[in-house]
Amino acid sequence: MKTAAAADNGSKKMNLEEKLKRLRMEREARSRGPASSVENTWSRLQREAGLSTKEKLEQLIRLTGGTAGPRPKKSVPREPEPRPPLQVFENAYPPDARYGKLRISDALAVGGEVLRYLSRDEAFRDLDLSTTVFLDLETTGLAGGTGTLPFLVGLGYFRERAFIVAQYFLGDPGEEERMLEELSRLFAERRFKSVLTYNGKAFDLPLLETRFILQRKSFSLAGLPHLDFLFAARTLWKHKHESCRLFHLAQQVIEAPRDEDIPGAEIPYRYFDYLRTGDFERIEPILYHNQEDILSLLGLVISGARLFSEEDLDGETGPDPLDLVGIGKVFARAGEAARSTRLFERALVGRLPSDVAVSVVRRLTSQLKKEADWERAVALWRDGSAADHVFCYRELAIYYEHKARNLAEAKRITEEGLALAMERSSAERVDFEKRLARLNAKLQKSGPVKKKIRSHRGSGEAS
């Protein structure tokens, strides 16, 4: 790994990639539980007024010096290593480097039109990832606010087609102003046009902006178009994967060979321990974790953008039914009903899990109702009722009562829906009971029914 820092900041050479194997072994051997005494003390100190972040950290070190919890044992005691106040670590990944099943250069083919859909922000239409900064922070806590210090600022960006991962590590909390000055210089030099994070709208970007404000510095990233890919990832893959955590999607979508390298709750404790001991080995797994998160985020954006290939979407082959659902949801949220309807219909032709199929039918028929396309909507509800989807019985009952004006058919469908709802303890049972009572009252007023009705399960039509 190449290390770059100001002349008086010190230097430290470290190759994170070569240390991966050792770090994984260390992960398995280290203690699994968070240092609750440290966290509780830090929470209490955060509530104290009149103390700077540096003073709070100094008190934390003094108060928890004897209760830090288990740490890896060393056979030979050693003196604490000197702590450079600020270190900048930089890794450059050439365009042909691979991360999981993807190439780094694939990101440069992602256009503004796709970014516009993923972000739901028109400002991305004329942008691409060549001028984007990827941002990920490691902090002293997750509460946010002025008491939370970002001690590691991880940035990813393209420079001459290579993807750079630059990490600014704050070895001395009292040198935060210097770190922010270094970041300001980088932002001014690179002139980024957009920001990309994972849950950064709620945490990373506001927290970093707060630190700039506290130091009376302008924050040039504020106001730039911001794609928080957590929301896009949930739209594309929540129905397909059991978790939308970044590391989990990296494994499942990108096929990246990464593990749960370090629990998030352990990261603040490791930093506090480093401030107490000067042992940089406590920080190395955090640097690796941060770098992997940035690369995983880059890979997920590439993977998400690939789903929107017009050639694949319009061809016979292409995304699987679950991916078609995700893309359809993105188009639906962008207001492109025709495209989302086509994708939802294609997805239903394939095999979808029952809960996903119900969700798709709900979305699809909701759009068809807006368009008054009752023929296609009724056909979908019939198929759904044949598969015992309770909500399809309810929609059919509404249609026959209010649109087709066939009270007898509406009553029969309501009775079938009620029976199914009672069998499954469905929350729609009360709705069916009220609907049936109202239909019986209407039928009594209208007189005897002269039409014969065939079984709904047989044809779904009134004769």
Q: What is the pLDDT of residue 136?
A: 97
DSSP bridge partners of 154? 136, 167
pTM for this one?
0.78
Q: How far apart are CA 402 and CA 392, in angstroms?
A: 15
Burial 285-318 (b: 16+ CB within 10 A, else e): bbbbbbbbbbbbbbbbbbbbbbbbeeebbeeeeb
Nearest to 363, CA basis, from 388, 327, 405: 327
The pLDDT, as a whole number, for residue 67 is 41
Question: What are the structural domains, with CATH classification, of the chain?
Answer: 2-69+78-305 (3.30.420.10), 311-446 (1.25.40.10)
Q: Find tokens 């909507």 and name the residue.
A: 377
Contact 139, 146 (CB under 8 A): no
Low-confidence ranges of the chain (pLDDT < 50): 1-14, 26-36, 66-77, 450-463
Phi, psi of 351 (to 5 degrees): -95, 115
- Are the beta carbons of 389 and 421 closer than 8 angstroms? no
Residue identified by tokens 């980024």 is 192
Tokens encoding 448: 């005897």
Do residues 163 and 93 lie in contact, with contact meaning Cβ atoms separated by under 8 Å?
yes
Question: Token pair for residue 364?
Answer: 């699809």
SS (H, E, C) the chain: CEEECCHHHCCCCCCCCCCHHHHHHHHHHCCCCCCHHHHHHHHHHHCCCCCCHHHHHHHHHHHCCCCCCCCCCCCCCCCCCCCCCEEEEEEEECCCCEECCEEHHHHHHCCHHHHHHHHCCHHHCCCCHHHEEEEEEEECCCCCCCCCCEEEEEEEEEECCEEEEEEEEECCHHHHHHHHHHHHHHHHHHCCCEEEECCHHHHHHHHHHHHHHHCCCCCCCCCCCEEEHHHHHHHHHCCCCCCCCHHHHHHHHHCCCCCCCCCCCHHHHHHHHHHHHCCHHHCHHHHHHHHHHHHHHHHHHHHHHHCCCHHHHHCCCCCCHHHHHHHHHHHHHCCCHHHHHHHHHHHHHCCCCHHHHHHHHHHHHHHHHHCCCHHHHHHHHHHHHHCCCHHHHHHHHHHHHHHCCCHHHHHHHHHHHHHHHHHCCCCCHHHHHHHHHHHHHHHHHHCCCCCCECCCCCCCCEC
Strand order in the sheet with 150-159: 2-4, 86-93, 162-170, 150-159, 132-139, 194-197, 226-228
Angle at 96 between CA 90 and CA 99, to 5 degrees: 70
